[in-house]
Amino acid sequence: MALYKLFPCDHYAMIFLPALAGASASTGFTASPLPDFLIPATLPTQEASVHGYDDGVEQALMSVELSAGSNVITYLRNGDTSGWTPSGNRGVGLQVITVFLD
């Protein structure tokens, strides 16, 4: 469950992503669903830096990506949607991202 602050007049929102952690069994990492009113409409892709760990090791090159029309938040490692280690543990800390809704 993520908290958010919606600014409807300015067509953007701040999403307070919760800390996530757990065992890894795949090379992908996503969170969903976003409610309809927080899904970007026309900007093809938006990306924000985040911090966390993969296979128990702190990582500097992590981000989240939101795509127009999609209710899924995709976590990237080293700029790759499938760049996660498929074993060990992974996670991210509490993050705040800005999403432009136009």
Query: Which tens digits make up the pLDDT trace of 40-96?
Result: 999 999 999 999 999 999 988 899 999 999 999 999 999 999 999 999 999 999 999
CB 62 within 8 A of CB 77: yes
Q: What is the pLDDT of residue 78?
A: 93
Q: What is the pLDDT of residue 60?
A: 82
Distance CA 82, CA 80 (A): 5
Structure tokens at 12: 């953007």
First to last CA, the chain: 23
Look up residue 10 and give its amino acid.
Answer: D
The pTM score is 0.91
